[in-house]
Structure 1
Amino acid sequence: MTKSFQIFDGKIRSLKQHLQLIDLSLTLACKCCNKEKDNGKNIATTLHAVSGTHLQLNIPNKTTDIKRTFAYSRRKLNEQAIIELYRLFSDYISNIVSELFKNNPYQLFGAITDKNERALFYHEIIQLSSYDAIIEEISKRIYRSFEKQRSTPKLLEKIISTTKVSISNEIKQDALLYLEIRYLIIHNNSNVDEKFKRMDKDNKIHITGKKLNMTYDLANASMNAVFKLCKSIDDQLIHRTLVSTL
């Protein structure tokens, strides 16, 4: 594996650990509240919170309030996990671009379409001061050039076409479907749009009305799909000797 994938792998493991721990904690806390529902206390007291430390949980420990409170927390947990997953994916792509450029500075140079971005002025070279810093700066410019696609599918296709790696269409489309969920969470209040419906031809993602069912299973499946894509990219880049292995 590459250094970039090693970092990505570690962060995915940590994110999964966090998701699983909080999901399980919510399950146990919800069971505790339901076991003692209608006890005349609030949720904070029922869960033995230290007085005054969890003021937003000073709500009645009643069936309706328990259901509403824990449903909201689960939804937000899974939304945040998917948003974080997208950031980890972007970090991997950015890091692997840097590795590609360091291994062979010329293979990605053509990806910078802006002539001004291609050139480093004398004062910039002096400020950067070292070859490694210069390579890092140009790598960032290449990634910015990829980001200008303003579309995850286009960004991915640009990287694949530039490096000429072969990625299974099934793996690619599966990951892109889950990565698109981040857009829906941030820009469409977790409601599916026509573009997403076209992407999800097999109705893989469960929805209620137009809203995504923001479950633990969805967040976990998203991580697995994106991990599989990044692993495939990494394996192909190594196979074509475009990057160095650890």
Structure 2
Amino acid sequence: MKTKSSVRFFARAAHLDVDIELADVIMISIKQGMLNTEDHEYIFDKVDIEKHPRLAERKISHTSRRHAAEHLKATLCEAFIKNIYEDTTQYFQEIIDAAAKNGLDPQRLIGEHQTNFKANEVLQAGGWDKVVSMVAESVFRKLLNERDTKKLLEKINIKLKLDVSSTTIDNALPYFEIRHLLVHNDGKADKKFCDAFPDFCTSIGKKIKLDAKLIQDARTAISALIEEFDQQIVSKSIVASNQLQP
């Protein structure tokens, strides 16, 4: 069995994989000259000046086509790292919510993340499950606001009384931190990142290269993280049976 949240996570991840694969197919097609003929007036045969004015301005050359293809793939690789992080946080938010509704000890759920609601907010929630969801979401947001992905994962591990390996968490961390660099530092490695993950950093201030190996490694490490959390969540009955599927 697995949680419905993990099924949704891996379905979303599969869509990201397809995007990367499609970009690769387009790049191969461009390099083999399958999208352009010698006598066409634009960079690619199907360019329409009304619909594609920026492409219509591009120089007609093999180098220009290659650069366009490489930029497309790089953009999708960057989107992959950003989106898989968002999908991971979505998974954990759903699990915290489901665990709270399944009777997770309130002291464990809240811990040091005390939260308060106004009476009208509680009354407007529309039922006890909605109130529980409000509390669970508030706790999760407080965890996110600490801006420390390692602590986020470790605290979820503790709150749910799981025994997820620290190695599994550490293996996924560099890719989450690369996402932070992409969002906040234009993808450039800073000293903190280089000190923490020297294998991923060639020099401070240089952009992290999002090549095929890094993307595959990220997919493998983050998938292993979700799988290990999910296996223990299921085996320890952290969420209700209606949140599971074969």
TM-score (norm 1): 0.85
Q: 1:143 to 1:242 in 2, by over 3 A?
A: same
Residue 113 of structure 2 contacts residue 142 of structure 2 at CA under 8 Å; is this kept in 1?
Answer: yes
2:87 alignment partner AA: L
Distance in 2 between the 1:212 and 1:33 partners? 31
Distance in 2 between the 1:231 and 1:120 partners? 34
Alignment of 1:162-173 (within 5 A): 162-173=159-170
Partner of residue 10, structure 1 = 11
Is residue 2:54 matched to residue 1:56? yes
Is residue 2:189 matched to residue 1:192? yes
Partner of residue 242, structure 1 = 238
Q: Structure 1 residue 225: deviation in Å? A: 1.4
Q: Any idea what the Cα deviations from partners look like across 1:208-244, whole Å, max 9, x if unmatched?
A: 8822212233223212211110111111122222223
Alignment of 1:32-47 (within 5 A): 32=33, 41-43=41-43, 46-47=44-45
Residue 36 of structure 2 contacts residue 45 of structure 2 at CA under 8 Å; is this kept in 1?
Answer: no
**Greater alpha carbon shift after TM alignment, 214-223 vs 7-16:** 214-223
**Identity rate of aligned residues, in percent?**
22
Q: 1:33 to 1:214 in 2, by over 3 A?
A: farther
Residue 15 of structure 1 contacts residue 81 of structure 1 at CA under 8 Å; is this kept in 2?
Answer: yes
Q: 1:222 to 1:61 in 2, by over 3 A?
A: same
Alignment of 1:192-231 (within 5 A): 192-201=189-198, 203=199, 205=200, 210-231=206-227
Q: Structure 1 residue 182: deviation in Å? A: 0.6
Partner of residue 88, structure 1 = 87
Unaligned runs of 5+ in 2: none
Distance in 2 between the 1:110 and 1:228 partners? 27
Partner of residue 110, structure 2 = 110
Partner of residue 149, structure 2 = 152
> Counterpart of 1:165 in 2: which secondary structure?
coil
**Greater alpha carbon shift after TM alignment, 127-136 vs 23-32:** 23-32
Q: Structure 1 residue 64: deviation in Å? A: 3.3
Residue 102 of structure 1 contacts residue 135 of structure 1 at CA under 8 Å; is this kept in 2?
Answer: yes
